[in-house]
Amino acid sequence: MIEIKRTPLDLIDDIYSIAYWMTGSEKASSDLVSSTYLNTDFDVEKTDVLKTFRNCYLETYGQHADLDIYESDHAPASLMDSFRKWTADIKLSVLLSEITGLKHAQISEVIGKPVDTIRLWLFWGRKFFTHDHLLRASA
């Protein structure tokens, strides 16, 4: 099967869809897409555009991952930040697979984790999306 090379602008609809699932807000999605394209060159690969999207998301919204996490005096802030980033990456992995059709190796390149980790995240992330409210976009 021949894969058609897509330019960064060809990805704008997919990136908006992912942004909406990640943030649950039209305004936040538009802001995130704008931020992504302001930080992207127009001659880069698809995975580089998605890496830029991930970085923009984590900088702006990653600290607000959709989980019922209650901060306490016992949990260090760095641990909570790592946990939020981890949940955002699981959610993003599933969305990259389902919306953009990326293969496991491509998602691994975008997220910066081994392929086996991505496979595990996709398995559990899909279960969370279908059976649990924790990884769903808020309405």
Higher pLDDT, residue 39 or 135: 39
Question: Using an 8 Å Cβ cutoff, are 135 and 127 in contact?
Answer: no
Cβ contact 47:120 at 8 Å: no
Which residue type does 131 have? H
Segment 95-135, tens digit of pLDDT: 999 998 999 999 999 999 999 999 999 998 888 877 665 54
> pTM, whole model, 2 decimals?
0.73
Domains and CATH numbers, the chain: 8-131 (1.20.140.160)
